[in-house]
Homo-oligomer: A and B are copies of this chain.
Amino acid sequence: MTRSAQSPEPTAARRGRPPKGAFRLSREAIVEATLEVIDADGVAAVSMRAVGRVLGVDAKSLYNYVDGKDGLLDAVAEALLGGIDLPAPTGDLGNDLRRIALAFRTQALAHPEAAALVLTRQLSSFEGLAPVEAVLRILSEAGFDPAESVHLLRTFVAAVVGALLREVSAGPTYGATNPELVAERVRVLRGSGLANVTAAAEELARFDGQAEYRYAIDFAIETVLARVSS
């Protein structure tokens, strides 16, 4: 719905190389424009044409900077990953893991609609490796060998991603933000006829993203700590 045309001039119909001094396209500008579209209308609303519209440029021009729509979405995921503010390690294993996990969540929730992209896409780029390096370093300094470190890294990342994915895909449906929706949800759950679902309906209907996330992280960290000695 929201449409922000931000071309510096009313871009007259024109062909060929743009006059110098004119707005210059760039990978960064394109990623930013895509995030604008995503924040406003969700990932499903992303199209080459829609992004071009935001920039006041023909959709086809994007192909000079980005490898098609798929490449565009990859670029967005990478930009978000690269933007994670990794905390300096303190030497305290549990705390350091927790702080990385929280930084990850902060970045993911900065663009909730885009978060699933980061969580779902294959992150093999250099940008995606920085958080990996950070976790491996912490584990290695805690005395884990590479093989065990990788296992723990993967398990830790899976827990974090799973928790975040639920949080962003559940969206604002859950949450104490809307007690009316929670009540409605309780009713639905009670009507399921499933004994244990009914018994836990109140707890199932309520959902505090941050608290739930901390619980999941602490759960994982607890087990990592239990293995330090072994």
Contacts and interface: CB of A to CB of B under 8 A. Distances in A.
Contacts of A122: 169-170, 173
A218 B135 CA distance: 21
Copies of the chain in the assembly: 2
A38 interface: no
A119 B169 CA distance: 10
Interface string A68-103: 000000000000000000000000000000000000
Interface string A191-219: 01011110110111000000010011001
Contacts of A187: none
Interface string A155-170: 1011111110110011
Interface of A: 116, 119-122, 124, 126, 129-130, 132-133, 136-137, 140, 146-147, 149-151, 154-155, 157-163, 165-166, 169-170, 173, 188-189, 192, 194-197, 199-200, 202-204, 212, 215-216, 219-220, 222-223, 226
